[in-house]
Amino acid sequence: WDEPVIFELTTPGERGVLVSRPEPGVREAVGDVVADLPAGMRREKPAALPEMGQMRVLRHYLRLSQENLGADFNIDVGQGTCTMKYAPKVNETLISTPKLTELHPLQDQGDVQGILEIMWSLERAVAEISGMHSVSLHTSGGSTAIWTNIAMIRAYHEANGEGEQRDEVITTIFSHPSNAATAKAAGYKVITLYPDADGYPDAEALRAVIGPRTAAIMITNPEDTGIFNPRVKEWVDLAHSVGALASYDQANANGILGITRARDAGFDVCHFNLHKTFGTPHGCGGPGSGANAVSEALAPFLPGPVIVRDGDRFALDSDRPQSIGKVAPFYGVAPNLVRAYAWIMALGAEGIKAVAETAVLNNNYLMKKILEIPGASAPYATGRRRIEQVRYSWQELFEETGISSEEIGIRASDFGMHYWTSHHPYVVPQPFTLEPTESYSMAELDEYAAVLAEVAREARETPEVVRTAPHNQTVHHTHHDDLDDPERWAITWRAYQRKYFS
Amino acid sequence: WDEPVIFELTTPGERGVLVSRPEPGVREAVGDVVADLPAGMRREKPAALPEMGQMRVLRHYLRLSQENLGADFNIDVGQGTCTMKYAPKVNETLISTPKLTELHPLQDQGDVQGILEIMWSLERAVAEISGMHSVSLHTSGGSTAIWTNIAMIRAYHEANGEGEQRDEVITTIFSHPSNAATAKAAGYKVITLYPDADGYPDAEALRAVIGPRTAAIMITNPEDTGIFNPRVKEWVDLAHSVGALASYDQANANGILGITRARDAGFDVCHFNLHKTFGTPHGCGGPGSGANAVSEALAPFLPGPVIVRDGDRFALDSDRPQSIGKVAPFYGVAPNLVRAYAWIMALGAEGIKAVAETAVLNNNYLMKKILEIPGASAPYATGRRRIEQVRYSWQELFEETGISSEEIGIRASDFGMHYWTSHHPYVVPQPFTLEPTESYSMAELDEYAAVLAEVAREARETPEVVRTAPHNQTVHHTHHDDLDDPERWAITWRAYQRKYFS
Amino acid sequence: MTQPFVHPYLPNTAPDVKAAMLAAVGAASTDEFYADIPEGLRLDRPLDLPAPFVAEQDLVRHVDGLLGRNVSTRERLSFLGAGTYNHYVPAVVDEVINRSEFLTAYAGEPYEDHGRFQALFQYQSLMAELLNMDVVNVPTYDGFQATATSLSMAGRMSGRRGVIVASDVLPDKFSRVHDFVRTNLDLTVVPTVNGTADVAAVAALATEQTAAIWVETPSYSGAVETAIRQLADAAHAVGAVLVVGTDPVGYGVLTPPADQGADIVCGDIQSLGLHQWFGGAHAGFIAVHDDPRFVMEMPSRLFGLATTDVPGEVGFGDVAYDRTSFAHREDGKEWVGTAAALWGIAAGVYLALMGPQGMADLGETLLARTRYAQLQLSAIPGVALTDTALHLREFVVDFSAASVTAHAVVDTLRAQGIEPGVAVGEYELLVAVTEMTGQGDIDRLADAVASVVAASDTADTSTSNTEEKSA
Amino acid sequence: MTQPFVHPYLPNTAPDVKAAMLAAVGAASTDEFYADIPEGLRLDRPLDLPAPFVAEQDLVRHVDGLLGRNVSTRERLSFLGAGTYNHYVPAVVDEVINRSEFLTAYAGEPYEDHGRFQALFQYQSLMAELLNMDVVNVPTYDGFQATATSLSMAGRMSGRRGVIVASDVLPDKFSRVHDFVRTNLDLTVVPTVNGTADVAAVAALATEQTAAIWVETPSYSGAVETAIRQLADAAHAVGAVLVVGTDPVGYGVLTPPADQGADIVCGDIQSLGLHQWFGGAHAGFIAVHDDPRFVMEMPSRLFGLATTDVPGEVGFGDVAYDRTSFAHREDGKEWVGTAAALWGIAAGVYLALMGPQGMADLGETLLARTRYAQLQLSAIPGVALTDTALHLREFVVDFSAASVTAHAVVDTLRAQGIEPGVAVGEYELLVAVTEMTGQGDIDRLADAVASVVAASDTADTSTSNTEEKSA
């Protein structure tokens, strides 16, 4: 397809869907409510939305869908750190009932016992998986869950009278950037540590900066390199020794489920991304879901309300004076919570551990295949196993051919593959990160590695083919320079019309 | 995608879905039921089905789906006679409830009142649209509905003691072939009439063959040429005058809904294709649904059971001694019946007439566009309006360029268009049939006509481009000769393996 | 109406567009297009239909309200079968067949509709592995039609009229088959013995006028025919063919009829990934060996694999299209038309998901649960099985010794939310169990039946000797 | 377990494959991969989780059973709002967002994920037309976050701490905003008068320390702020900005805030094509004019249109990516992460289906039904409206004159299958009507309320003067 932007498809007078109109009895009682609007309150010009028959709207979006590469369609190991795993179709069937879609959060609690039980059970499962005491499922994404971690930490220190004193947060460069960003947004000074020569987080560096001003350490483990910090408990103990808290970003938990737990290493608070680790679909970038798990000491600070169980009855408890309050409307992204619950219940303890072990097996198998490609390397911790992903480098290939990792990624798309070129932080040169998860078969991993090997071959033998990619996509090479120029950027169709055609 | 045949994707040991297994208590009670099978009854070798993880099965079929051109994706006017109209998505939502999917036909009638009421109401609507007395919705396709027409006619004549005497059925060449084929299958000799010079069914020819041996005339009107037989009532009267019945194939009813009715012209029996005229989706070729409508005299012969209404209660009546019996399991294709009911209720009398008028407007508009293309013509009834479709001819273009209609169709697919090349009967030379229905906008009809104009231009200017098409499809020119050779045809993967690789 | 009628399904009802199109074709109104329809045939009033719900939300409320009056087998505990079965449909099956690309396609050509051709070719191929035969058709309407056509094929091939019906056949199926074939074939029913074919009687009846012996397995009562080999030999001895009507759900563990001499195997695929749909989701298969005599008698479309201009690439197309009524009208084989393709795609996805182990597990589960249900019910005093044959999924219990009618059992259990089965005689009940009815469900059924019988017992204690009738 | 664990979600648990992979990497078992995890941190027991349902059919039965215990607003007559609304979702919306291509994609690049970029760019553009502003973000989590971020933007731009809260704000939203901004901003609430902003009081409070005036329309009580122009003038007079939190559902007929001087317009799009989902389907929008000062403060992704190597073709990409925390960690603007993209696509489809006329019709229906409900309820002796402001969709009724508590009304009506609204005070009930609650539904509510009040009347007849409080 070469599907136009939807505004180009308008035909005056066409209708896509009709709306229920006021009944004659209502009209008689209320008169002309639009004409009666106060001065200046009636919209003068109709909104310039397109006018289209229903089938044309449908056709437009179905064609756009076919121009999009979902995880169901490709060997989606190239979006490293994203944990692209199978989102089971049965879970979509399960949630598509009016018993969930048409449930209002303020209904009589007697009418919502099913969803409350599911949410309560999911909290308990996350508590067991993390080793923590209490869980909240309110947040609707990973980064906002990290925000919730720091918001609870802030409230905790304030409750202890140390809110003013503790104004620093320590993180590592290979922890997700949201740890740094949310801490900053919460008012903290951020200290970022870099790895030691072997790629492990530098414990000596931590020792040098931690102290009475430290509110928390906020770290990921394994980090985005796929390297597990073996001294993590030492880090946590160090934090506790100065009165700070330890916050664990479990975005990379997929390889350690059932193997090791946050609380066992002493962490006070952690979060999971249900849309990564627990198999809810990524939805083009959300809705996600975060699960915040905390120790008993931090439980009073969890967002409210919480679900309480009394025998077979479940209820919402809002009477929690130390809570940080609401972090989102109502009680979390219900469709994702049901999906995550179903995912856990389809696998059980044995299955969840098999998820981790298979993800790690896949990762180390793929690493072997990738490192066989001339020009590819895996910086840090040479020869060591990795957990669930690896941050690789094309530096050697780049030095030899001048082809960058980004160019390789664009060319890989011609083979129907994703390849993640946006590798914050830019510490590893010419980086690429592969995370095969547990969802792809050996044959598929071989196929993915073969594509990268082929592109690397092209980079050497026919570099122009790589440099001028894409050759096989809906659109051709796009001029991204305009997107940073306020005079040229066009964030909406109306702005495009104004800037480019008037 | 270049998606393999599914057998090539097998990996020993993988599982796609697990099945509920006998509980320990069951095993204890029944022992090893497989080992205990009588001699020779236990399958020796497992079925050679592929072994695949769930996500890979899904990915395979999703990719195949993207290699298929549904009506939702294209301007589907090229499958003439098929009535490719919008199948509203809301109807898919409506039927996807367990209240319908998990209903068993032999449940307590008190538990199935909703579906019975819908079916009863749909029968009444079809009766009104056809002018007939009684309706059965049991058949699951158009051709089997035509079979049911002739089966009822056969039973009627038998009941009147004329079963032996009346052994001939008369049809016309531009009526759907199933009229001839079902009559033959029911034991009748088939007489086929050809059109007069103007393309109208030849009334004089009818007069010449009709008589005491005639069981029925079975005709379509408008015929597949889009031409309405203005003397249709004369035909029906003639049939009645010799004691024969008149059966109306309403496959082409889309242009005359609310305009003229079968019973008003005197027909005794007719059928509609719900998957054509009433907006149920075509499903790659079924399930369809047929509706048989009959006069009061033929009502006792309808397939059984029928739905009867008693106040607010609906029940099934099987006590019908003259019924031809079952024509299909239970009571018809329930999902399609609900869809067709919803389609009618979304439109109402005014909307249904607008469907017909719009379909006819679209058809005559498109005819104007097509006839502007050099080399295209519309044989018969020159200058007359057509109803809902037109059978065109590329004969002039073929004579000029040697490019056949079939080659044009294959090339049209490169532009994302369907184009129906299978135009039984082969009376019109180099035929193509376009039926735009009411579902496509003027802009889309213009686009379709532009594609044919472009292909016609190519046929003149760059005929090799047309002759070597497809250029833009999943597969390349396919060798169809093998498909008619018993030594080479491969109707299953196992036959292909055996014939081509052993 | 004074307002113009504009409907979301009808883009060209937009007034400006409609006017432009009329102008383009030089018509004053759409009435002109109907010039060929005589005035006397024109309907001079609006159709008398209920007021529509043009706003989608109102339509949904209306239809949902009607469907909401149904109570489904999810809300009841159901042991209903008799042709439509409550098997589990994996979510992936529904996902695939509800894809717009498949749902709304029709009859496109092998290039732009490559996916449809491949999906249906795969369906044919997967069924072929399950049945161990080389040729399977694109689905026809249902198992009734598949069987009627299979017998007709036998008649056409042999020029004979005789069909010996060896098994108990579902009455509705028999009705359909009979009305379909009666012009060309004569059906002779040989009563079964202990639930299955009376092989000696059937063999004795077979003559040079016999076109086919027709076996059903599982039969109407769920009995599995174990003497197919002998029946095939009897047919072949007189130059007839053996037609086996079956449900393929058991062939993960059971020997396929082709391995026992069947010539044509046919039936319904509703068990393979289709919901119950109030009995409205059936599709018929016909399987034969790769013998042109048989293949050329099949009326349905057959999709075949073919080579293309690119070495190693495979394409698809119609095999022997000239057989069909599309090609030759009344001179084709019966007829072909829109039948049940989407259900075939569903069954293909189902078999791909299940794989050999899944079908084997399913077969075992069905055998085990069936046997368990037989044991539990026949252990109730006054309740007996009607035969000792091997059963798959269905069986008949007899309440005559308890003097309780089957209808009484049904009525009483329905009041408890249980559909115990289909009454098939005054005292006989046809009970179906599937992988969806677990041990707990079967126990609940047995307990409920035991209560009914016990209650009757109190009134009428003449239940001696009933144990002996149990298997 | 002795049997190998093979799961449909985990292809490489197939024993042969697993062994081959281990061999390829030279590992004896998967344990080797965990060498970096110290023994003391290793969990030495299985997780204590409930027994799983590995057969899909058993999982479905389990989860369906749990969800089956919910009673939805289809089965109740609901007038609940307070942040989540029962609007109609056209079927096409669900069809599109449930397409696997959209549902399972994530963060691919503009080439292979062209469809996602275009769909979200179109969402931005369609919202922009409805709001009459040039810049709209890829959705953030919800309206709470959108508002918190909008106020923070005002603070960052101005370097000031003061925010004047001019309207009644949903308490949960206020909670979220407060905890989010409290390090950087001080919120000062100015009580409303007759349901809407006290313009004079707000203007009097605005100073050089004011970063923003924050208006909510419709407010917590459903009141539409009609003095946005004056509030904008008051803000601009002191160099502050006007932040308007809103629900865009009414802008088919109501003047968009941008036309009245708003600088930042933000809110939630749940009303535009998202189901209620137990309150779990929200997404936030932030709209600004095309002014780099504002744009560069937005933390969310912004998809922009760009030219390509092919003249006339348009591609898409990230606008000003350097703003984000992806690019600059703590030096980015707040943060960006997985938020609510799919809901944005849904809202885009919704607006495309509705078109200008659909949104106008919807706005009129909402205004009319709201007014009708106000009239019907306030006509009941003892029931009064709490203000005379213009309301859209929600309003508060006061039962104090009838001496009936709001909770008593709720409890009594729930017993009749009606959720009459949210109790927001001892005697105050927040009632929401939408296009889904027709005249008959509203009449049913009014009748039920009248009965409760009348019953109370019998006990306590002091209901004089209540009529005067009605609007």
| CATH code: domain of residue B194 | 3.40.640.10
D139 and D263 in a single domain? The answer is yes
Q: Which residues contact C240 (CB under 8 A, 6 or more apart)?
A: C154, C158, C160, C162, C206, C210, C211, C212, C213
Identity at C253, one-letter amino acid code = V
| Mean pLDDT computed over C159-186 | 98
- Judge if A339 and A367 occupy the same domain: no
Q: Per the domain annotation, does A130 fall within a domain?
A: yes
Chain B closest CA to A70's CA: distance in Å?
10
Residues of A in contact with B11 (CB under 8 A): 441-443
**C423-436 confidence digits (pLDDT tens):** 999 999 999 999 99
- What's the pTM value of the predicted model, to 2 decimals? 0.96
Residue of D nearest to B52 (CA): D11
Residue where one domain finishes, among candidates A312, A346, A380: A346
Residue C456 identity (one-letter amino acid)? S
Q: Which residues contact C170 (CB under 8 A, 6 or more apart)?
A: C82, C83, C216, C220
Contact criterion met (CB below 8 Å) for D348 and D123 = yes
Q: D2, D49, D84: which to substitute to probe chain A, counting the most A Cβ within 10 Å? A: D49
Asked if D420 and D445 touch (Cβ cutoff 8 Å), the reply is: yes
Q: Which among D16, D56, D95 has CB closest to B17?
A: D56
What does the pLDDT average to over C316-336?
87
Q: What is the DSSP letter of B16?
A: S
Q: How far is A373 from A416, CA to CA, in rounded Å?
A: 20
State whether C207 and C233 are in the same domain: yes
Give the number of domains in chain A.
3
What pLDDT does B422 receive? 61
**Rounded Cα gap, residues D241 and D220, in angstroms:** 21
Q: How far is D136 from chain B (nearest CA, A)?
A: 29
Residue A14 touches chain B, beta carbons under 8 Å: yes
The radius of gyration of chain B from alpha carbons, rounded to an integer in Å, stands at: 26
CA B44 – CA B32 distance, rounded (Å): 16
Q: Which residue shows structure tokens 């307590």?
A: B108
Pairwise CA distance, residues B81 & B433, whole Å: 7
Q: Please give the Cα distance from D445 to D429 (Å, whole number).
A: 13
| Nearest residue to A80 via CA among A204, A174, A181, A195 | A174
CB contact under 8 A, A54 and B442: no
Chain C CA closest to residue B174: C329
Burial status of residue D182 (CB atoms within 10 A of its CB: 0-12, 13-18, 19 or more): middle
Closest CA to C143 of C231, C217, C72: C217
**How far, CA to CA in Å, does A454 sit from each of A403, A462, A468?**
14, 11, 16
∠ CA B314-B316-B318, rounded to 5°: 155
Q: State the DSSP code for D336.
A: -
Same domain, D377 and D340: no
Tens-digit pLDDT profile for residues C333-384: 898 889 999 999 999 999 999 999 999 999 999 999 999 999 999 999 999 9
B464-499 pLDDT, tens digit per residue, is 999 999 998 889 999 988 899 999 999 999 999 999
Is C313 found in the same domain as C249? yes
Q: Is A53 on the interface with B (CB under 8 A)?
A: yes
Q: What is the pLDDT of residues D157-174, one digit of tens each?
A: 999 999 999 999 999 999
Of B99-108, C135-144, D146-155, D304-313, where does mean pLDDT reach its minimum? D304-313
The amino acid sitting at D112 is E
Q: Which uninterrupted H or E stretch holds C244?
A: strand C241-246
Kindly determine whether residue B13 and residue D57, on different chains, have CB atoms separated by under 8 Å. no
Query: C362, C398, C405: which is closest to C378 by C-alpha?
Result: C398
Q: Answer whether the bond into residue A425 is a cis peptide, omega within 30°.
A: yes
| Spatial separation of the C-alpha atoms in residues B427 and B430, rounded to whole Å | 9
Report if residue A415 sits inside a domain.
yes
pLDDT of residue C467 exceeding 50 = no
Tell me: pLDDT of D471 over 50: no
What letter represents residue A285's amino acid? Answer: G
What's the Cα-to-Cα distance from B280 to each of A57, A270, B277, B288, rounded to whole Å? 19, 51, 8, 8
Note whether D60 contacts B: Cβ–Cβ < 8 A: no
Which chain A residue has its CA at the smallest distance from B15's CA? A441
Q: How far apart are CA A146 and CA A250, in angstroms?
A: 10
ipTM for the whole complex: 0.96
Distance CA A344, CA A367 (A): 28
Spatial contact of C49 and B348, defined as CB atoms under 8 Å apart: yes
List the chains bordering chain D where 3 or more Cβ pairs fall under 8 Å: A, B, C
Using DSSP's 3-state secondary structure scheme, residue A185 falls into: helix
Q: For C94-130, what is each residue's pLDDT tens digit?
A: 999 999 999 999 988 899 999 999 999 999 999 999 9
Rounded CA gap, A262 and A128, in Å? 10
Q: What is the CATH number of the domain that holds A392?
A: 3.90.1150.10
Check CB contact under 8 Å for D57 and C100.
no
Reduced to 3 states (helix: H, G, I; strand: E, B; else coil), residue B154 is: helix
Contact D101 A118 (CB under 8 A): no
Residue D285: give its domain's CATH number. 3.40.640.10
| Tokens read off for A326 | 């609401």
Distance of residue B323 Cα from the nearest chain A Cα, in angstroms: 41
Q: Which residues of chain A have pLDDT under 50?
A: none
Contact assignment for C307 to B475 by CB distance below 8 Å? no
Task: Answer yes or no: is D229 within a domain.
Answer: yes
| Rounded Cα–Cα distance for residues C374 and C158 (Å) | 42
Interface list for D 104-123 with A (CB within 8 A): 104-116, 118-122
Angle between helices A54-66 and D114-131 (to 10 degrees): 140
Instruction: Return d(Cα A88, Cα D461) in angstroms, integer.
Output: 61
Mean of pLDDT over chain B: 96
Q: Which residue has the tokens 């995550």?
A: A340
Chain C nearest CA to D88, separation (Å): 6
DSSP state for residue A478 in the 8-state scheme: B
Is the Cβ pair A89, B58 closer than 8 Å?
yes
Query: What is the DSSP secondary structure assignment for residue C290, as one 8-state letter?
Result: S
Shared-domain flag, residues D211 and D267: yes
Give the nearest chain C residue to B28 (CA atoms). C372
Query: Does D16 lie at the interface with B, CB-CB under 8 angstroms?
Result: yes
What pLDDT band is residue D190 in, cutting at 50, 70 and 90? very high
What six digits make up the tokens of C377? 């019910």
Neighbours of chain B (3+ CB pairs under 8 A): A, C, D
The reply to whether residue A351 touches residue D42, judged by beta carbons under 8 angstroms, is no
B17: nearest CB among D8, D16, D92: D8
Cβ–Cβ gap B66/A66 under 8 Å: yes
Give the CA distances from residue A318 to residues A308, A324, B331, D133, D408, in Å, rounded to whole numbers and listed in that order. Answer: 10, 12, 54, 38, 21
> Which chain A residue lies closest to C12 (C-alpha atoms)?
A14
A411-425, B475-489, D273-287, D436-450, range with the lowest pLDDT = A411-425
Helix C15-25 / helix B334-371 crossing angle, nearest 10 deg: 50
Q: Quote the minimal CA–CA distance from C206 to chain D in Å.
A: 46
pLDDT of residue A347: 98
Q: How many Å apart are CA D193 and CA B53, to the nearest integer? A: 63
| Nearest residue of chain A to residue C101 (CA atoms) | A62
Residue A484 included in any domain: no
Q: Does C10 touch chain A (CB under 8 A)?
A: yes
Q: Do the bridges between strand D394-398 and strand D428-432 make them parallel or antiparallel, or are there none, so unpaired?
A: antiparallel
| Nearest one of A17, B357, B89 to C8, comparing CA atoms | A17
Interface test with A, best of C16, C61, C349 (most A CBs within 10 A): C16
Find chain B residues with C-beta within 8 A of A54's C-beta: 86, 88-89
Average pLDDT rounded to a whole number, residues B90-112 = 98
Q: Are residues D318 and D408 in the same domain?
A: no
The answer to whether the CB atoms of C107 and B409 lie below 8 A apart is no
Tokens 């069986």 — which residue? Answer: C395
Q: Which of A15, A55, A94, A100 to mutate to test the interface with B (most CBs of B within 10 A)?
A: A55
Nearest residue of chain B to residue C353 (CA atoms): B16
Contacts of D355 in chain A (CB under 8 A): 14-16, 49-52
The Cα–Cα gap between C384 and C429 comes to 11
Same domain for A155 and A230, yes or no, is: yes
Question: What is the reported pLDDT for D467?
Answer: 42
The alpha carbon of residue B59 is apart from the nearest alpha carbon of chain D, in Å, by 10
Helices (H) and strands (E) in chain C, counts: 15, 15
- In a shared domain, residues A366 and A341: no
Task: Give the relative orientation of helices B442-461 and C15-25 as an angle to the nearest 10 degrees.
Answer: 40
Residues ≥6 apart with Cβ < 8 Å to A87: A71, A279, A280, A281, A282, A339, D103, D104
Residue from D7, D99, D349 to probe the interface with B (highest B Cβ count within 10 Å): D7
- Cβ of C338 and B143 within 8 Å? yes
- Please tell me the distance from the alpha carbon of residue D395 to that of residue D219, in angstroms, as a whole number: 10
From chain A, the residues in CB contact with D16 under 8 A are none
The confidence band for C470, taking pLDDT boundaries of 50, 70 and 90, is very low
Chain B: nearest CA to D450, how far in angstroms?
Answer: 32
D444–chain C nearest CA distance, Å: 17
Assess if residue C83 is contained within a domain. no
| Residue B73 is assigned to a structural domain of this protein | no
**What range defines the domain where residue C15 resides?**
1-46
Distance CA B19, CA A500 (A): 59
Whether C82 is in a domain gets the answer: no
- Concatenate the DSSP letters of all residues of A356-417 into one string: HHHHHHHHHHHHHHHHTSTT-B--SSTT---SS-EEEE-HHHHHHH---HHHHHHHHHTTT-
The verdict on A21 touching C (C-beta cutoff 8 Å) is yes
The interface residues of chain A toward chain D in range 351-390, judged by CB-CB distance below 8 A, are: 351-355, 357-358, 360-365, 367-368, 384-387
Give C-chain residues touching B180 at CB under 8 angstroms: 325, 329-330
Residue A163's domain comprises 93-346
C170 plus C308 within the same structural domain: yes
Residue A205 shares a structural domain with residue A123: yes
| % of chain B exceeding 90 in pLDDT | 93
Supply the angle between the helices B113-130 and C56-67 in degrees, to the nearest 10. Answer: 120
Is the domain of D328 the same as that of D402?
A: no
CA dihedral (D15, D18, D23, D28) positive or negative: negative
pLDDT score at C460: 54
Both tokens assigned to B169 = 């059925």
Are D107 and D34 in a shared domain?
Answer: no
Annotate A74-85 with b (16+ C-beta within 10 A) or e (fewer): bbbbbbbbbbbb
Among the listed residues D142, D416, D402, D167, the one whose alpha carbon sits nearest the alpha carbon of residue D286: D142
Of C249-263, D131-145, D283-297, D452-466, the poorest mean pLDDT is in D452-466
β-pairing, A134-136 with C384-385? unpaired
Residue D2: pLDDT band (50, 70, 90) is very low
Residue A424's identity, in one-letter code, is H
Residue A316 sits in the same domain as residue A378: no
Confidence of residue C397 (pLDDT cuts 50, 70, 90): very high
**Contact residues, chain C, for A54 at CB < 8 Å:** 8-9
Domain boundary among C46, C65, C83: C46
Residue B423 pLDDT class (50, 70, 90 cuts): low
Asked, for residue A482, whether it belongs to a domain, the answer is no
Task: Kindly state whether residues A215 and A243 are assigned to the same domain.
Answer: yes
D54 Cβ contact list (under 8 Å, min separation 6)? A346, A347, A348, A351, B18, D7
Give pLDDT tens digits for D55-67: 999 999 999 999 9
Q: Tell me the shortest Cα–Cα distance from B346 to chain A, in angstroms.
A: 11
Residue whose tokens read 């990230």: D318
Q: Are residues C312 and C373 in the same domain?
A: no
pLDDT tens, position by position, D363-419? 999 999 999 999 999 999 999 999 999 999 999 999 999 999 999 999 999 999 999
Whether residue C274 sits in one domain with residue C421: no
C340 and C373 part of one domain: no
E-strand ranges in A213-289 read 214-220, 245-249, 269-273
CA distance B55 to chain A (A): 7
Tokens 């020993």 -> residue: B12
pLDDT of residue D459: 60
- Per-residue DSSP letters for C175-221? HHHHHHHTTT-EEEE---BTTB--HHHHHHH--TTEEEEEEEES-TT
Chain B residues within an 8 Å CB radius of A416: 1
CB–CB contact B62 D100 (8 Å): yes
- Give chain C's mean pLDDT: 95
